[in-house]
Each structure stands twice: as C-alpha cells, then as structure tokens.
Structure 1
Amino acid sequence: MEVARFVLELIVVLACIAMGTRASGVSLGFWGGVGVAILVFGFREPAGSPPVDALLIVLAVVVTSSAMQAAGGIDWMVTVAAKVIAKRPKQITLVAPLVAFLFSVGAGTSNILYPLLPVITDLSYRNGIRPSRPLSLSVVSTGVALACSPVSAAMAVMLVLTEKPPYNFDLVDILKITIPAAIIGIVAASFVVARLGKNMQDDPEIQAKLAAGGIPEASDTPQATAAGRNAAIIFLLGVVAIVVFGLFKVLRPADAAGAPMGMTQIISIIMLVVGALVVLVAKPKVSEIPASSVFKAGMTSAIALFGLAWLTSTFLGAHDKAIANSVGGLVQAAPWIFALGVFLVCVLTTSQSTATQTIVPIGLAAGLAPGLVAGMWSGAFAGIYVLPTNGSQIAAANFDYTGSTKLGSKLIDHSFFIPAVVLALFTCLAGALLGVVLG
C-alpha cells in the first residue's frame, strides 16, 4: 500500500513538472501549485515548507540587478569584457568562455552574455576561427557560472539547504569547490571544442555564404556610461561584501540564538542596500527597472521556483525516510547517479534553481557529503543547454552570420550539445575530486 502510494505521488510530481516544462515560464510555478494541491487535498499529505528564504534572496538580487541594468551597469560590464576578449583573439575559444563565466559569476545572471555574442562572432571571424566554437562554449559556461555566483537564484536555494545543521556548509565552503571546478572544466572543454567542426577555410558552406554576402561590418558593443560604470562597481562591491561576510563569520551580527547570522539573510540585506545605492548614485529611471530583461527573467524564475520547490518539499517531506532508505545505498555506491539526476532535471526544466531544489535534498538525505554534492552539482548545470531551447542558444545562432552555429533539427545535432556534455563531465569530475579533498 505504501509503495503504491509513493509511486502514485511520484507520478503526480513528474507529471506536473512535465506539464510546467511544456508550457515553460511562469507555468512551472502554476503546475507546481497544482501538484501541491493534489498531494495535500487528494493524498492528504502535510504541505511542505514554501522556499521563503530562497525567494527572499532571489527577489532582492533580481530587483538590484535590474536597477544596475537600468542604470547601464551591464552595458559597462560588456564593454570591459569585450576589451578583455579582444586582447587575445587567437585564444578566443578559451578566453571568451572564461570571460563570460567570470562576468556571469559577478552579475549572478547569464543575461550579460547576450550583448557579447556579436563581439565574439566578429572577433572569431576576423581571426579565422570558426565562430561556433567560442560561441557554444561561452553560452554553456554561463550555466555552470550560476553555481559559482554568490548572488544567483540557484545559490540561494543551495544555501538554504546546506548552511544550517547538520551540514553547516556555508557559502565559502561551496565557492571554494565550485569555482575552481568550473574553471578546470572550461579550460579542459576548450581543448575539445576548439576541434569541433571544420575550420572556416575548409567549410564550403561558410565560404559560399561569405562569398555571397561579403564581409559584414563589425557589430558595435553597447555604449558605456559613467552612470553604468558606477552602478556596476557598486553591485560588484556588494558581491565582494557578501563573500567577505561568508569568509569571516565574526563580522556578522548575531541572530536571536546568539549565533552568527545566516548568509541567506546577509545576502538579502546587502543586496537591498546595494539597490538603494545604485538608485542614489547612478540615478536610473526607477520606472524602467521592472521593464528590464533581468527583472522579467528573474521574476519568472522566482515564480517557477516557488511552485516547484513547494511541490518537491511536500513530496520529499512525506517520503523522506523511504527515499533515504531506497535511494541512499544506490547513490552512496554510485555518486554519479546524483549528478545525473541534477543534469536531467536541468535538461527538462532549463532551471538550475529547480534542479537544485528537486535533487540536492535527495543527495543530502542519501548521505552524500555536502562537498561532494556541491562539486557535482556545479558541473551538472551545463545540462540546461543539452536541448536547443534556451534563449542564449537561439541568440548565438542568430548572431553568427557565418552560419556555423546551428540549432539542429534532431534535438542533439546542434552546436551546443557536445560542449554541454563535455563541460558537465569535466566539471563534475573536478568538482567531485575537490569536494572530497576540500569538503
């Protein structure tokens, strides 16, 4: 009877995730709510805890990032990134993904990549490098970057799960594993990606297209302004402050129990202060903040996180012992199964925060060490680019006037599939090793 109940509820959870993924966007949150309703009213399970702490961080970060964007901060960061990439054009397949990764870590969003795409295309073409190589790896690198950013939505969820007892695995504990693992993964993947596809001079399709259309003019990078520079610097200083508070617990105020305040609250407080400073110093039009692309994407992610995280919390809370007993031995014997779980949920939902909320609690309940979980978790984030459905993939293909970056027609015959799988593999391996050594 209990087994049948478990299976039926699992079917409900998977069906709701599938329906939400099919409709995408805020529908993920709606269908998460439908699943909670079925489990609570239909199966009479106690409702799980909504992800309030994670949502508060996401909201604070999103509105502050949006204020920075409205002030021109992301445009300024793009001009800096473009200059860095332009200094070593021959190594663009390595440099561009690393720059995209680092700036996504700092900004807490992969949206910074969009205005960099035409820059990468132009520099690649003018240096005789197939644009699909740096474009594809740059796109995929921004996925793993969100496991390394103190201000990403996925990190907000991860902190809520790990920083409290019995794990006591704080922000710095996570970052010291995920950041080097991701960099190792990107560097290793660049050697593989640099050999994908024919060289431009040997590709008849590219040569015919270029001969017919001529050499296009170089795309302009966004215009940098003093206000944008100030907004970006204020935001990045806020990120630095978060890391400092994570490193030195003695700097944190005490909570009601007399212990150092948790990082979930610290991040929310600092981000709101940073947002106020951006408005005061850079003076963006406040009315434009909710209309920014970062705000829209962030709010969509928050709604999806709200519904799906509540659904998984309800299901896992009702069957925590059964899951720990049945899955625990399997995951402990083969920890790669955990990484595969995160990877597959990323593939299906294209949401790192959803994958974190869904699979990480299972890995922790199964007895995996938090360091090992964090290491494999970071690499599995590349899974969101296994299918050619993400906005940045479509944008990269559209910006590549040579036609070398393809979306394919058979789901896995696109330019991002191999880079995503290779980056996930290398980062997971490096992360697992670092997690064992440093965790």
Structure 2
Amino acid sequence: MTSVSSVASAERPMAVSTIASQMGITASPIAAAAAVVMATAATNQLDITLGQVLMVTIPATLTGVLVAAAWSLKRGKELNEDPEFLERMKDPQFKEQLIDRSEISTGATGMEADQKAKRGLTVFLLGILTVICVAMFGKDLGLLPAGVSTSTALQFLMLSVGAIILLTTNVDPKKIVNTNVFIAGMSAVIIIFGIAWMSDTIIAHNKPYIISLVEDVVKAHPWTFAIAMYASSVFLKSQAAVLTIMLPLGFALGIPAEVLIGVLPACYAYYFFPFYPSDLAAITFDRSGTTKIGKYILNHSFLIPGFIGVLVATFIGYSLSVGLLPIWLWAIAVVALVFGVNSYMNRLSTETLKLA
C-alpha cells in the first residue's frame, strides 16, 4: 500500500521483492527445482547431497538479493519529484484510491481465522523441517523404503503436509479451487508442463547435434553453460522445467558437477518478459502506478533488479562451488554489505526527519 504522504517510490521494494521470491526457489530445499537436481544427479550416478547444493545456492541467492535490494534503494525518483505520479495525483479518483480504508476484524470470526492461520503455519513450518531432514539424512538413517527415490519421497511428504493443513484448519475445499492462487497455480502447471515437454522432446531428439555445436566451447569455458540456462529460462518460465531439460544436457557435455551446482541461480530468467504471475501481482498491488510495464515492454520495473540479482548470485555460486571464493570471505563481504546499507538507511532517515 502506498499512502499519499509517502515520498518513497513503491517500485523500489515491490520490484525487488518479486525477484527475491523467485530467486529463493533456487535455494529452497522443498522446491521442485531442488528435487530435479537431486533426481538428475542420482540418474547420472553422482553422490550429491541436498546439503552440498544448499551450501552454494543459499549464500549465492542471498547475496544476489542483497545487492539487488541495495541498488533499488535509490532507483527512480521520489514520488514528490515524479512528474508522472504528480500528474496522476491531479485525478481525484486516483488520489482517493491511494487511501486504505479497510478495517481489521477484531470479532470472534477474526480471532477464529487467526487461530486457523497459526495452526496452518505451524504445520507448514514443521513440514519444511521434515522435508529438509528427509532430504539430507533420509538415506543415511534408512528413512526411505527400498526403491523409493528422494525426489519421490519429498513429493509425497509435501502432498501429505498440504492434506494435514487442510484437515487441521477445516478449510472448505470448494473455496480453495476458486482462489486466485490456486487458479493461477494450476494454470501455470499446465502451461509449464506443455512448454517443458515440447522443449525436452526437441532437445532429446537433437541432443547429438546440440552437443556437437557447443561441446568445444563448454569444455574450454564450463561457466558458459550458465548463459544457456539463462536463455532457456526466459522462455520456459519455470526453474524446475529449465533444470529438467538443461541438467541432463550438462552432464552429457561432461561439465563437472561442481560447475553445474554453481550456476544453478542462472535457471531464473523469466523476469525478462514481465508476464509471470508474481510480476503482474506486484503491478496490481502498487496503487501508485510506479511498478509498471513500460511502453516498449522490456523497459519494465523488474528487468534491472532481476539481472543484477541473478548475475551476482550466479557469480557467487560459481565462485563458491569451484573453490574460487572461500565461505569465510563471502561471509565477511555480506556482513560489510549489510552494515553499509544499514548505515545508509540510518543516515537517510535522519535527513528525512530534519527535512520534516
């Protein structure tokens, strides 16, 4: 929500928050992308654990998000200096819709909904912990039945957690299928599956030809595989779909496992065209109109923070994975970045108070 008195452009947090939400998928132990990585590694007889993957993807994506957020602090103009916003403020209807008149329910119904939300969140968090434990220690502790792969077990676990949440919160299933999130999610599943199957079919059929084209370049410069993943993601609109198609190709090209793990952040590039549901939602939520798609489509609010975040995350991930960047040096750099941004924000707040 953007108030009339606010001078900070809502585009700054809104754009980078959607980028952060998608970059987090790369580092999530319960995301489909992680399951694809584990399944592909197992298919290629590589002993890669979820812990090894997360030790690279979490620091890498965190750094990318922090750098993109730091850049976003001063992007664009303040609202009281933005000519487009000031022109829209001349419209009484536009000015009126910026004021939030919603009231928070404090009655019995509101308290009951709050309790249901707490129960659902508790089950969800416990489910995440269970998935992480099974993914990291399932084989060593013998938690998985014979013949059941880790990726299959994680899928069953996550479906079970969803069922438990449904039972403990007494949510009407009929209402779920009519929610915007469910409709958007199921639509995305169908669309992404279609694109992924088509792409996988084409690549599988032409794999020898594709390998012959890029083999020499990739063997000489393995990091260039990140460019191929990035280009694929622009059109596939799914990190899991990109990894499903590109990781087997990477193994076929003989790219070392540590390189493939290091360039995993490059599987997110579908911010390039601003038609992903999270991007459209951010545009809708920003009533000030600063988060937008430009006249030429590609000059939208998400392009630059997305490019910065993914580029930095891929560079850090590759450097950590192949041993170019020690983890302790990364930690020092991140702490310095956080303190620098915090110092800047404190100074900015002080200047704002003086002006007021």
TM-score using structure 2 length: 0.77
Q: SS of the counterpart of 1:177? A: helix
- Counterpart for residue 163 of structure 2: 276
Contact 2:135 2:154 in 1 (8 A): no
Contact 2:192 2:237 in 1 (8 A): no
Residue type of the alignment partner of 2:166 = V
State the identity %: 27
Please say if 1:256 is aligned against 2:146: yes
What is the RMSD of the two structures over their aligned residues, measured on CA atoms? 2.9
Q: SS of the counterpart of 2:146? A: coil
- Counterpart for residue 413 of structure 1: 299
Please say if 1:397 is aligned against 2:276: no
Please say if 1:362 is aligned against 2:244: no
Runs of at least 5 residues in structure 2 that lack an aligned partner in the other structure: 328-356
Alignment equivalent of 2:259, drawn from 353, 372, 397 = 372
What is the correspondence of 1:335-350 to structure 2 with a 5 Å cutoff? 335-350=222-237
Q: Which piece of structure 1 moves more, 158-167 or 415-424?
A: 158-167
- Counterpart for residue 163 of structure 1: 42
Contact 2:192 2:241 in 1 (8 A): yes
Change (3 A) 1:369 1:127: farther
Q: SS of the counterpart of 2:63? A: helix
- Counterpart for residue 241 of structure 1: 130
Contact 2:227 2:266 in 1 (8 A): no
Contact 1:375 1:435 in 2 (8 A): yes
Runs of at least 5 residues in structure 1 that lack an aligned partner in the other structure: 1-117
What is the correspondence of 1:59-98 to structure 2 with a 5 Å cutoff? none
- Counterpart for residue 187 of structure 1: 66
The alpha-carbon deviation at position 286 of structure 1 amounts to: 2.3
The alpha-carbon deviation at position 197 of structure 1 amounts to: 1.0
What is the correspondence of 1:199-218 to structure 2 with a 5 Å cutoff? 199-210=78-89, 212-213=91-92, 214=95, 216-218=98-100
Contact 1:379 1:431 in 2 (8 A): no
- Counterpart for residue 6 of structure 1: none
What is the correspondence of 1:105-124 to structure 2 with a 5 Å cutoff? 118=1, 121=2
Q: SS of the counterpart of 1:359? A: helix
Q: SS of the counterpart of 1:253? A: coil
The alpha-carbon deviation at position 254 of structure 1 amounts to: 4.8
Change (3 A) 1:269 1:389: closer
Contact 1:332 1:368 in 2 (8 A): yes
Q: For the residues of structure 2 that align with 1:174 and 1:238, how far apart are their CA atoms?
A: 20
Q: For the residues of structure 1 that align with 2:167 and 2:284, how far apart are their CA atoms?
A: 37
- Cα deviation code 1:139-160 (max 9, x no counterpart): 1112212112233233333332
Contact 2:192 2:236 in 1 (8 A): no
Change (3 A) 1:349 1:313: closer
Change (3 A) 1:205 1:297: closer
- Cα deviation code 1:188-239 (max 9, x no counterpart): 1122222321223322332343465447323758976211221122122111
Please say if 1:150 is aligned against 2:39: no
Count of equivalent residues: 314
Q: For the residues of structure 2 that align with 1:314 and 1:406, how far apart are their CA atoms?
A: 36
Please say if 1:230 is aligned against 2:119: yes
Q: For the residues of structure 1 that align with 2:213 and 2:101, how far apart are their CA atoms?
A: 55
Q: SS of the counterpart of 1:422? A: helix
Q: For the residues of structure 2 that align with 1:142 and 1:219, how far apart are their CA atoms?
A: 28
- Cα deviation code 1:379-432 (max 9, x no counterpart): 440x11112222332332233232222210212211111111111111111111
Q: For the residues of structure 2 that align with 1:254 and 1:399, how far apart are their CA atoms?
A: 43
Residue type of the alignment partner of 1:393 = D
Please say if 1:290 is aligned against 2:177: yes
Contact 1:372 1:432 in 2 (8 A): yes
- Cα deviation code 1:342-361 (max 9, x no counterpart): 22222223222222222222
Change (3 A) 1:255 1:329: farther
Q: Greater CA radius of gyration, 1 or 2?
A: 2
Q: For the residues of structure 1 that align with 2:34 and 2:19, how far apart are their CA atoms?
A: 18
Give the ranges of 4+ consecutive aligned residues of structure 1 lying more than 6 Å apart after TM superposition.
Answer: none
